[in-house]
Each structure stands twice: as structure tokens, then as C-alpha cells.
Amino acid sequence: MKEPIPNDGDEVGYGKPPKHAQFKKGQSGNPNGRPKKKKSVKDLFEEAWQTEVKVNGTKMTKAELFINQLVNDGIKGKASARNLLMAHLPEMNDELEEFEPSFDDKIEMIKTIRRFEARERNQSEEDAS
């Protein structure tokens, strides 16, 4: 039979292990720690995209560099770059601030509407005859 291990008078039970089984000071119960989360492809892409590079003495992210190059290629006449830019123009226009028309703008709009209505009236009179 095993000899009982002396516990120096301390109570032993649930949540109170014997002294010899307790962790030593500075010793972790999980020395390797929690396993690191593996980065997803999205996380890796985002990290690479936001990496800063130095170009002609100017710091910019790779995303900024990519967009600058895309715009330059579109200006040079590369069709693929131009098509990509044109496809994303509506998204860029959504960021424009609200516009409050001036008095002159309102007058010009009224004139345009009246011209349009007159043209419609003329068209309907020609169709009737």
C-alpha cells in the first residue's frame, strides 16, 4: 500500500490540490500557450496590401501604388486598365458630397424643362396632322 503524502495540515479537495501537485511559482500549466490562429488568405492579402513601400522617396501602401499604376496605365491607353477603371467609376461617384443647386442652376433647369415641353408639344402637333 502506498504511503499517504503529507499535506502539511492544508485542506485537500475540489479546487485545493495537495502542495506537491500545485504548480510551482512562475510555472505555467500550459507552457506552449494557446496555439496561434492560422491566418486566412483574406488576412494575408490584407496584410500585404497595407504594407508600406518607398517609391521615389515617398512612402505609400501597395494599395495606393496599385491604384496609381492602374490610373497611369488607363491614361496610357491600356484597354484592360481603362475598362477596370470605368467599371468602378459609379462606386467612386457615390462618395461625392451633396450638391445644393444655386438660383442660377434652378433658372437654367426651368428653361430646359420649358424647352423640352415645347418640343413635346410641337412633336404631338406634327403627329396629329
Question: Against a cut of 0.85, is the pTM above it?
Answer: no
Spatial neighbors of 73 by CB under 8 A, at least 6 apart, are 80, 81, 82
Which pLDDT score is estimated for 2?
64
Local confidence band at 8 (pLDDT 50, 70, 90 cut-offs): low
What are the domain boundaries of the chain? 39-75
Question: Mean pLDDT, the chain, as a whole number?
Answer: 83
Which pLDDT score is estimated for 88?
78
Q: Is the pLDDT of residue 92 over 80?
A: no
Which pLDDT score is estimated for 105?
81
Q: What whole-number distance in Å separates Cα of residue 47 and Cα of residue 68? A: 19
DSSP tag of 3? P
Q: What is the pLDDT of residues 50-74, one digit of tens each?
A: 999 998 898 999 999 998 898 888 8
Q: Collapsing DSSP states into helix, strand and coil, what is residue 29?
A: coil
Identify the CA nearest to 56 among candidates 48, 65, 47.
65
